[in-house]
Structure formats: structure tokens, C-alpha cells
Chains A and B, each alone.
Chain A
Amino acid sequence: MSTLSQRISLPKMGTTLLGIGWLVAFVIGAWGVALRLVHGHEFANYGSYVVWGLWVAAYIYFIGLSAGAFLLSALIYVFASKELEQIGKLALLVAVVTLIMALLSIWFDLGHMERFYFVFTRPNFKSMMAWMVWLYTAYFVLLLAELYFALRADLARWSVSDGWRRVVANFLLLGRRSLSQRAVQFDRVALRILGSLGVPLAIAFHGGVGALFGTVLARPYWHTPLYPILFLTGALVSGGALMTAAVAFFWPKNDPKYTAIVQRLSMIVFLILLFDLILEWAEFSIPMWYGVGPEFELLQKVLFGPFWWVFWILHVLLGTLIPIVIFLTQRDKPLWLGVAGGLIAVTFMAVRLNIVVPGLIEPTLRGLEEAYRHERLVFEYVPSLFEWQVVLFICALGFGLFYLGRKLLPVISVSGAKEEML
């Protein structure tokens, strides 16, 4: 035992364990994806009545994380926030990775995966879904462009170094190697312009996801004008919280600004969380006030039905109360603030599930559930193991991409180094 601890230092052991855990998750997940590709939707638990399930919830969850992380980065670049400037690149990386995760989630959910491009070749611009796809495609392109301009100067520096960094840099630079003040200034202006374009774009596309649900007249639970706004604040809370955790855990601790950055981020998240809670209060209290009606019954089910714990334990306790307590009592401990951010970010999946599923669990016509019986024609839904496997794959892939991005790209610039180079 003593020789082991001598040979492997604790952080290294942590990395090894993380690596093994990641590999296990990836293999189990990949098995699920293989089942999806061979057997289609056969092992999924959603049906024709609860027609959207875990994967759609995962989609709006990941895309919310992406929009949130991006809006944060855009605010940094547009308003040239000095305190948070350094994390802009990391935020962009998180936004790209979570967007890829979102797109994979919804792609696996399609009945005809091979026809996804029809949304580009024969779009119906009356459909909120078509708008959403077009907007997030534009957003994807913009993200890549922003990432390019944000990393270019550092990559240019890498291109004259040795080893793998030179290869990576030469591959990604697209020929623009200049480090002159003019070239660096050009990058900054480009980032500001792209960021300015990105803010309305991110608001439009994630508000659009909210509108996708909000416009469905047939579903009283979804049909609320508050949804686009609620989706945006949810994105900012969850995306900001994820960034807090990412910085708290993956930023070099020797950076003198480390604690200040985490504190600033967690403060932003805390304030938006409070605002989100007000909106959520409105979302629940207004339709419930009369104590009758279809929306009241559905909200009752969310709060006190068989899955009450998704709301109370996952969302309220773990995703709201405990993080708030941490924010208020552990302000000077960045790792604790990271834990709070992580808790909010992970448990936000509960909020997304509580949007998608309850909207579909009530028959539009009473008695329909007994009119024709089949396991796919029921108004109940619990995700199957297979569905979780696919989500596990997406998470493992996302984490892998993030890890690789952090290793292979100059997304982290420590304060001292930055000042030196300028």
C-alpha cells in the first residue's frame, strides 16, 4: 500500500480512476448506441402517446447548457469584462461540446436519422422546429468562428514551438499566423462583432426551443407565453453553473485570479437562479390558483404524483436549496462553489424532464388510454435502461471532447502568462 502511494500521487490516482470510470461509461453507452442503430426504437419506453422522452429532455438540457455557456462568453467579449476575460475561451469550448451533445441526443430520437438534412433542403418556416434547427446551425458556425478568433493568437504562438502543439496549430490556423498588433486587434474586433451577433442569435434559438413547446395549443401544460423566457433563464442558470464547475475544477489553481473568477461566476449564477425561481413560482402558482383545470391537475402530478421526488429532491433540494446555502456560506472556497455549480448543472436535467414528460401524460380525450390497448399506447413513461445508456454515451463523449479540447487547444490562459504576452 505504501509503495503504491509512493509511486502514484493522489491527483494521478484520481485521474486514473476518472479515466477508468470514463471508459466504463463509454463502453456501456456505446452498447446502447449500437442497439439504437441496429434495433431502432424497439427498446425505448416512449410510445405514441408519451411520444417524447429522455432523449428530447436531454436535448433541451444540453442545448440549454450550450446557450447559457455561450451567452456568458458573449457577454464577456461584447462588454470586454476584464474579470472574466480569461474564461471566454473555455466557455466557448463548453458551448461547442454541449451543442454537439444536444444535436446527438435529438438525432438519436429521430425516426429517420438519415433524413435529418431534410430540414435544410425542404424547410417549413412556419414550424418552430425548423426555425430552431436553422438558428442553431447558424449558431454552430458562429461558435466555431468565435473559437477560431479566440484561439488564433495562442495557436500562432504554438506554431513556432515544437512537438504536437505545432502540428495542432498549423492544422487549425488556416494560414493566419501573424502575431502583429494589427492581427491581434483584428481578432478582438472580430470576437466583439461575432459576440454581438451571437447574443441575439442565442436568445432567438433558445427562446425558439421554448416557443417550440409553448406554441403547442394542444398541450395546456406547455402552452404558456412564459416558456421562451423560462428556457432562457434556465439556460443561463444551468450553463453558468456548468461553467462555474468547469472553472472550479479544471482551471489551474495557481492562477492568482482563480478564486476571484469562480466567485464572480457563482455570483452571476446565484442572481440568475433567484430570478429563475421567481419565474418558476409564476409558472406554478398562476395556473394552480383556481385549483381546477387540466394544467392544475398536471402540476399537481409534478408536485405530488409518483415522481414528486424529481421536483422536490432533485430540483428543489439538490439543485436549488443546497447550492444557495453553499453560495451564501462558502464564498471564499472555490471548490465548494464548484460543487454548488455542478449540483445545479447536473440536476437541471430534472427540470427539463419535468417540462417534456408531464406535458404528454394526460390523454387529450378522456378514456383514450383504454380505447385500444398496447404498451406503446399508454400515458405513462419511465425511461428504459437503453435510453439511459444512450445518454450515458453522449455524456461520456461530451466529457471526452471537453477533456481533449482542454488538452489540445489553448483554451486556458493563466493571468500571468497573458499579461506577459501582451
Chain B
Amino acid sequence: MSTATLEKTDVLERMREELQRAIKKPVHQRRWVMVIDLRKCIGCHACTIACIAENKLPPGVVYRPVITEELGEYPNVSMRFIPRPCMQCDNPPCVPVCPVKATYKRPDGVIEIDYNACIGCRYCITACPYNARTSDFGLYYSDHTPQRAAYDEAPSFEYGRLWKREGERSPIGNARKCHFCLHRLEAGQLPACTTSCVGRATFFGDANDPESLVSELISKPNVMRLKEELGTKPKVYYLV
């Protein structure tokens, strides 16, 4: 794919069309993949915030932090920004450790957490080599203020269900992580991090579709994945 094509139409348009194509297929025929171009990421953290807003993440829970890396020594210095969503590993270390089968790989490759089954032992959090899981300890932004704020009470729609945080109810007490915004995908929308990326550094799509943008990108020689030596086979790729 030439750069010229990218400039003509917003890459988001192309990915949206591909998404529509993918969700018409049976779930097991889709293979969701994310590609992040580290040369384009400017470290604005818009994806982190969009994700928090989309999934109504409470304090201390984060699905997609952006790691800032400083390279070199003065005067030859540079910075690199590495967004870190859940890697949705093909060989996920978090899944076999769960004592109650509350986390599993879906037919489309996304690792799901069944909030109503998770007992909150946090074993999966220790097992993730990317620290991609966080625990919901039941905190609110408006803790220690006279009144609970409306945004603290807004429900999230993760995994296509409505989750209202209150008392000890799930997802409070559960392990939580990025799920590629499955609820948005089902509605034909790209993940929140992808649409909010101002530098268009995050790409998303179906790797089973040979015509898709992500299929093209992950076949390039400048593609890498984090900690490949562990054999986890992440479905998040980085362009370097």
C-alpha cells in the first residue's frame, strides 16, 4: 500500500469499511489484530484517555497506558512512545492460571474476562508478562467528596453488557483489561483508542482478511511484537 492512498482518504474510513466486512463473517472467522506505528505515536495519551472514557475506568484501572522511553545521551537524545494495550496473546499466559475459567480466548482471538465468574484472586495479573491487567479495587474519582459524581456512576458496556459499579458488584473486585472494545466492534465501530489517535498511529482490523490494512502492515519487515521470546504470540504488532 502506498503512502499516497493513505493520504487521500482517512485511514479510519478504510478500517471502518473493513470492519463492516469482518463483522458480517461468523465470529470464528475473524482475527482481530492491532498495529501501532511507533514512528507516528507522539505520546499525547489521547488513546489512554479515550479508553478510560469509553470503558468508564475507575481510578487505578488502566487498559492502555503509553510508556515513554528516553533514548541516547545528550546531545544525541530522542524519545519513543509505546502504547501498551492488552496483547490478546494467541498463547495467553493469563488464561491457564485462572482457577475458575473466568478468562478465556474467544473464537476471534480476543481474551475475555467473565466478570460474573472472576473470584478476584488476581493470579492472572501476576501471570501477564506485559502487566496488562489491573484490579478494580472499588475506588471512585469522587471518593472523599460530599457526593459521588455522575461520571463515577455511569455504567460501562464492556463485553456487550451493562456494568454499573456499586457496592461490591462486578466489575469491582475483578481483574480488568483491554478487550479491543468488543462492544464497539459488534456495533461496527473501531476501538476507542484507534479512532482517537490524532497521529493515526493505531491500526485495527481483521488479519484473516488478506485485503485488510493490518494484514498488509504485519507482513512488513519492520514489524515487531513485545517479548516474542516468551512465545505468547501477541496480536498487537508494533511498527518500528
Contacts and interface: CB of A to CB of B under 8 A. Distances in A.
Interface of A: 40-42, 44, 47-49, 51-52, 109-112, 115-116, 118-119, 122-124, 126-130, 133, 212, 215-219, 359-360, 363-368, 370-372, 374-377
A381 B48 CA distance: 25
Chief secondary structure at chain B's binding surface: loop
Given A118-B117, A123-B100, A376-B137, A40 B173 contact: yes
B65 A372 contact: yes
Contact of B97 (A40, A216, A359, A372): A216
Interface in B201-233: 226-227, 230
Given A127-B96, A219-B126, A372 B48 contact: yes
A217 B230 contact: yes
Contacts, number: 157
B138 interface: yes
B60 A124 contact: no
Chain A to chain B: the 3 pairs with minimum beta-carbon distance, closest first: A111-B120, A111-B173, A376-B60
A124 B103 CA distance: 10
B125 interface: yes
Contact of B99 (A124, A216, A371): A124
Contacts of B121: 109-111, 129
Contacts of B67: 365-368, 370-371
Given A123-B99, A364-B128, 7 more contacts: A48-B135, A51-B126, A124-B96, A212-B123, A218-B126, A372-B62, A377-B134
Nearest to A47: B60
Contacts of A41: 137-138, 173
Chief secondary structure at chain A's binding surface: loop
A52 B122 contact: yes
Interface string B46-74: 00100000000001111001111100000
B93 A218 contact: yes
Interface residues of B, number: 50
A118 B119 contact: yes
B98 interface: yes
B237 to A, nearest CB: 16
A251 B173 CA distance: 44
Contacts of A375: 60
Contacts of A42: 137-139
B182 interface: no
A368 B84 contact: yes
A192 to B, nearest CB: 33
Given A40-B173, A47-B60, A110-B119, A218 B68 contact: no
A197 B170 CA distance: 40
Contact of A370 (B68, B120, B168, B226): B68
